[in-house]
Amino acid sequence: MPRELDIQTFILNSLGKGNVIDVRSPAEFEQGHIPGAINIPLFSNDERAVVGTIYKQIGRQQAVIKGLEIVGPNLANIVATAQALANDTTIYVHCWRGGMRSGFVAMLLKMYGLNVFILKGGYKAFRNYALQSFNTPLPVLILGGRTGSGKTLILKNLKQHQQQVIDLEGLAHHKGSAFGALGEAPQPTQEQFENELAIQLLTINPARPLWLEDESRLIGKKVIPNGLWQQMLVAKVVYINLPFTERLNYIVKGYGIFPKEQLEASILKISKRLGLEQTKNAIIALNNNDVKTALEYCLHYYDKTYSHGLMQRQKTSVTELFFDTLNTELIIQKLIT
């Protein structure tokens, strides 16, 4: 018989190996899945609905017969795909609750000759685990700085210096402002954002600092889970203070590559807060191919917004570091010494 594993053992044993099979329907998988899992659905979305309806209206046995009729022609493909994914003949399987779907596939693969492990409680157990992980105390350090301070770039370099870093904006596929979707892939579902974050938290050493960027609660349309958000609010902040001109140049370099139509649409998203006159001036500058002036209007707005947010923190929790230029090596040396 395939062996059942609790959620922690299942994740730790399979993490990063690419041999986890999620046999739920494509719609279930798209809504949220264990990061790195491969979807080999036992049923399509419509087929799952048919079997589920028979189970509820007629009974288990009739549903099983219908299920076997559906999956029969696809069994060889399931085995071949699993074989290709197996690491040293080992494969991990789960469905929604660790029930019939994963049990059936696991028995099939075991009969074929693979070393099969089933996730006890299925994806539901993983979701409970993920949601609980955000309440675990973490050694959070916040990297702060006004827009254009290169915080994401600094975090990337911190990671290269073997520091613990989680890029929340990277997980959310959004840079966190009205311009944040430019150049990014579509945002994941909220569920998948949480799943990806939970897996990264699993690898954190609680004895060492965890660097996170100073974010608002919303990153695009993704919400930072409350347990983590509350820790971020009270964490110590290292605030990178760069001159306005240096930050503006960084913004222009990053966003000036996008079409004017996309930049204008982003400016219009903040028009109510930017003000009618400032919005008008920014768009006029943009239409005159003066991207720098257009973004300068926006940067003044974001500076006011960020300063307001920073004032909500206790002054004793903020350490301010001044730099003349965005020299990431110099900044990182100050941060880690």
Catalytic residue, chosen from 95, 198, 267, 299, is: 95
Calpha distance 197→62 (Å, rounded): 40
Give which of 62, 33, 39 is closest to 50, Cα–Cα.
62
Please provide the distance, in angstroms rounded to a whole number, between the alpha carbons at the two ends of the chain: 54
What is the residue-wise DSSP string for 71-104? HGGGHHHHHHHHHHH-BTTEEEEE-SSSSHHHHH
- Residue 62 phi/psi, 5° resolution? -65, -35
- Cα(121)–Cα(11) distance, rounded to whole angstroms? 13
Beta-carbon-side half-sphere exposure of residue 139 (alpha carbons within 13 Å): 11
> Could you tell me if 129 and 225 are in contact, meaning their C-beta atoms sit under 8 angstroms apart?
no
Asked about 95 being catalytic, the answer comes back as yes
Q: How far apart are CA 241 and CA 140, in angstroms?
A: 20
Active-site residue set: 95
